[in-house]
């Protein structure tokens, strides 16, 4: 049968093609501006770099001013200078800092189209040895800080009629406890809260065209992962138990930070316009016990 453009079926297909934006348009973020909390180190830095490669301007927010020179210097060496990326010192638990961050971003780049929340703290202690203050610190930064950042950025987006994207970084530890015998209750609780916050924020902000999702990776080889140790004040026996559990051989390879950063980047693009309120899990199959290899199993700890 010969092709006939006048048939309704052909007209519908042609309409679909005509309405279809190019992949370049949907998978790049040219001309947009992003705030990345925790953006000057670890996963946040990799996300910052990917957003810059995608064409966005980025403000890296961090409470640690010592990270500014290295982060900005490395990015400038790759061609991303102060006309594209800036550092701003802010504590995500402080609303005055967040208001100042938003003002700075608006005055510097003229918009806020994307938010990525990577700021997080953690440490190790069994729940029966975990001080209340340590629990509150993790929840304060990881959950309350995420809530406050979403609160103030969403206000800006609504006031400026921006149909933005928010990607809140959580963790698969919210439902997959580790190390071997725990020690992560405060971090897991805070990241589980981020998953729930994502769903509620997506529900509230959808009518403004703002899409909110969470990316929940597993362990990654970041600088922070090597510096966050057991809490102070534990007995030597409790410390040894935690470190033995942490150092137990992994059942699969540790994924690269950039493999997660690429997923976060995708959630910030128009490519994912049809997704909101979702939990994306780039943990290389860890959640489903999908392993690259199975090591020899021995009793741990020894009986």
Which listed residue (178, 184, 187, 265) is catalytic?
187
Bridge-partner residues for 70, per DSSP? none
**Is 187 an active-site residue?**
yes
**Cβ pair 279, 171 in contact under 8 A:** no
Query: Strand, coil or helix: what is 34?
Result: strand
Kindly list the distances between the CA atom of residue 132 and the CA atoms of 43, 167, 185, 219, in Å, as whole numbers in the listed order.
27, 29, 11, 25
| 180: nearest Cα among 121, 255, 249, 237 | 249
DSSP characters over 144-178: IHHHHHHHHHHHHHHHTT---EEEEE--GGGTS--
**CA–CA dist 104, 58 (Å, integer):** 12
Question: Taking the C-alpha atoms of 49, 55, 57 and 58 in order, what is their torsion angle to the nearest 10 degrees?
Answer: -20
How far apart are alpha carbons 268 and 51 in whole angstroms? 9
Closest CA to 108 of 100, 97, 117: 100
Cβ-Cβ contacts under 8 Å for 16 (sequence gap 6 or more): none
Q: Rounded distance, CA 175 to CA 56, Å?
A: 33
Cis before 303? omega within 30: no
Active-site positions read 187
């Amino acid at each position: 049968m010969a092709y006939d453009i006048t048939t309704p079926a052909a007209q519908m297909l042609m309409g679909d093609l005509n309405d279809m934006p190019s992949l370049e348009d949907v998978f790049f973020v040219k001309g947009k501006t992003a705030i990345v909390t925790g953006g000057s180190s670890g996963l946040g830095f990799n996300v910052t770099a990917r957003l810059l490669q995608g064409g966005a301007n980025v403000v890296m927010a961090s409470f640690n001013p010592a990270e500014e020179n290295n982060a900005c210097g490395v990015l400038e060496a790759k061609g991303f200078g102060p006309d594209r990326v800036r550092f701003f010192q802010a504590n995500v638990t402080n609303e005055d800092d967040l208001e100042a961050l938003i003002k700075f971003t608006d005055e510097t780049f003229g918009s806020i189209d994307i938010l990525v929340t990577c700021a997080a703290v953690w440490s190790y202690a069994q729940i029966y040895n975990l001080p209340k203050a340590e629990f509150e610190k993790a929840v304060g930064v990881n959950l309350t800080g995420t809530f406050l950042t979403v609160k103030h950025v969403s206000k800006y987006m609504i006031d400026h009629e921006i149909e933005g994207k928010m990607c809140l970084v959580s963790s698969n530890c919210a439902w997959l406890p580790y190390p071997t015998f725990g020690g992560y209750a405060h971090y897991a609780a805070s990241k589980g809260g981020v998953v729930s916050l994502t769903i509620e924020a997506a529900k509230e902000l959808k009518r403004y065209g703002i899409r909110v999702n969470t990316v929940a990776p597993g362990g990654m080889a970041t600088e922070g992962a090597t510096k966050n140790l057991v809490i102070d004040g534990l007995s030597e026996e409790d410390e040894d138990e935690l470190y033995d559990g942490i150092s137990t051989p992994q059942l699969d390879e540790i994924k690269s930070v950039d493999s997660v950063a690429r997923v976060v980047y995708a959630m910030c693009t128009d490519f994912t316009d049809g997704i909101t309120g979702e939990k994306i899990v780039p943990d290389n199959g860890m959640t489903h016990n999908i392993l690259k290899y199975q090591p020899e199993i021995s009793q741990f700890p020894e009986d």
